[in-house]
Amino acid sequence: MSGWAIFGQAVLAVVGGGIVGLVFRGLDRKIAARMQARIGPPLRQPFLDLGKLLVKETVIPKTAVAWVFSAMPFLAVLASFTALLYLPLGPFRPILEGYGDAIVVLYLLAVPALAMALGGFASGSPLGVVGAQRELVMLMSYEFPLAVVLVAVAWRLSAQGIAPAFSLGTIAQNPLWPWVGPLGVIGLVVLLVTMLVVTPAELAKIPFDIPEAETEIAGGLMVEYSGTYLALFYLADVVRTLVMAGLVVAIFIPYGIAGVLGLSGAAAAAVDFLFWLFKLFVVMVVAVTTVRVGMARLKVDQVARGFWLWGTAASLAGLLLLALDKVVMG
């Protein structure tokens, strides 16, 4: 593919990703509201919020380290959108396929969290500092299970003799479910559950919204951000939700329905793309919306202990089961 074609697709994906992300955030808020017996905001509310933030004054506190403080929102939003370009978009291969693989996505997912932590430290507010410390602890605890999930799946693929195993495009084209035996299925389910638990942590949503924790540290690392910068973080968060859901879909449920419906060509691509969006929506509702309305916020030490102990154990168990399955199945 030529550079210009990739650029064009990337622009399309970024604009589309932003819009879809905001619509999904609207749906998320609406569904959460209905679960709480409220009416909730109209679907367009995230767009209004973003627009309002963009026209508001951006304040940089006197105590802040100004250049770090202002650079971090851009870093977060860039990393989030870049991660989107490494994702298989339903029937389409990842736009930046061949320029990096699943490990890059892992790093790109960690960058916004790091950016937020640095921004919190640089904000000069004690609440921001507390939030940033929490964010770092969280990052250290949930990244390992996430990495193990990816490695386990990629390793099983490469054991099957498929290359490049670490490309998300390849992973999405070759779902593991049909090849593995019963042990492998159990392993994959364990990995899927781990991934679904990591998702709200990655997105800092209740019960893992510890770095922001509105009632405890008043928004934590976001406390000093306002105007455009806050809008950028908001956008990064919205896109990250898409990316995480997309990751779950790409690894575990990459199936389309065009084949079942007997479609082909452009119609098939369109139907599969819509179906992919629907899958993202389902993953979001299950892993983010339902969880965040159904639980209380945990404490950072509880989360760290939980992920180090249970997260690690579960992901390693999944890996082990996949390995055993390979041995059994030959």
Q: Shortest Cβ distance from residue 4 to other proteins (Å)? A: 41
Q: Which stretch binds other proteins (CB under 8 A): 14-22, 78-86, 139-147, 209-217?
A: 209-217
Determine if 298 is a binding residue for other proteins (CB under 8 A). Answer: yes
Q: Which stretch binds other proteins (CB under 8 A): 71-79, 160-168, 256-264, 286-294?
A: 286-294
Of the pair 33, 316, the CB lying nearest other proteins is at 33
Using CA atoms, how far apart are residues 59 and 119, in angstroms rounded to an integer? 13
> Do 18 and 238 touch, CB atoms closer than 8 A?
yes
CA distances 89 to 93, 168, 266, 322, Å, are 6, 10, 15, 26
Token pair 């998300």 is found at 168
Cα 71 to the chain's mean position, in Å? 22
For residues 196-213, one letter each, b for 16 or more C-beta atoms within 10 angstroms of the residue's C-beta and e for the rest, the string is bbbbbbbbbbbbbbbbbb
Q: Shortest Cβ distance from residue 196 to other proteins (Å)? A: 15
Determine if 241 is a binding residue for other proteins (CB under 8 A). Answer: no
Secondary element (H or E) of residue 233: helix 227-252
Q: Which stretch binds other proteins (CB under 8 A): 152-160, 172-180, 206-214, 238-246?
A: 206-214
Determine if 197 is a binding residue for other proteins (CB under 8 A). Answer: no
Determine if 29 is a binding residue for other proteins (CB under 8 A). Answer: no
Token pair 């390992």 is found at 144
Angle between helices 66-85 and 227-252 (to 10 degrees): 30
> Do 131 and 223 touch, CB atoms closer than 8 A?
yes
Q: Which DSSP string do the residues of 121-184 spell out, in sequence order?
A: HHT--HHHHHHHHHHHHHHHHHHHHHHHHHHHHHHHHHHTT-SSTT-HHHHHHS-STTTS-HHH
Q: Which stretch binds other proteins (CB under 8 A): 2-10, 142-150, 181-189, 213-221?
A: 213-221
Annotate each residue in 48-77 with x if it binds other proteins (CB under 8 A) or - if it does not, as one string.
Answer: ---------------xxx------------
Q: Which stretch binds other proteins (CB under 8 A): 51-59, 79-87, 266-274, 298-306?
A: 298-306
Q: Shortest Cβ distance from residue 68 to other proteins (Å)? A: 8
Q: Shortest Cβ distance from residue 157 to other proteins (Å)? A: 35
Determine if 34 is a binding residue for other proteins (CB under 8 A). Answer: yes
Among 76, 297, 311, 314, binds other proteins (CB under 8 A): 297
Torsion angle defined by CA atoms of residues 19, 21, 22 and 27, in that order, rounded to the nearest 10 degrees: 130
Q: Shortest Cβ distance from residue 218 to other proteins (Å)? A: 5
> Do 246 and 84 touch, CB atoms closer than 8 A?
yes
Of the pair 118, 157, the CB lying nearest other proteins is at 118
| Size of interface with other proteins, in residues (CB under 8 A) | 47
Using CA atoms, how far apart are residues 204 and 210, in angstroms rounded to an integer? 7
Q: Which stretch binds other proteins (CB under 8 A): 27-35, 169-177, 225-233, 247-255?
A: 27-35
The burial class, CB within 10 Å (0-12 / 13-18 / 19+), for 38 is exposed
Structure tokens at 97: 């396929």
Which positions from 84 through 143 interact with other proteins, judged by CB under 8 A?
121-127, 129-130, 133-134
Determine if 36 is a binding residue for other proteins (CB under 8 A). Answer: yes
Determine if 38 is a binding residue for other proteins (CB under 8 A). Answer: yes
Residues forming the site for other proteins (CB under 8 A): 31, 33-42, 63-65, 121-127, 129-130, 133-134, 206-207, 209-210, 213-219, 290, 293-302
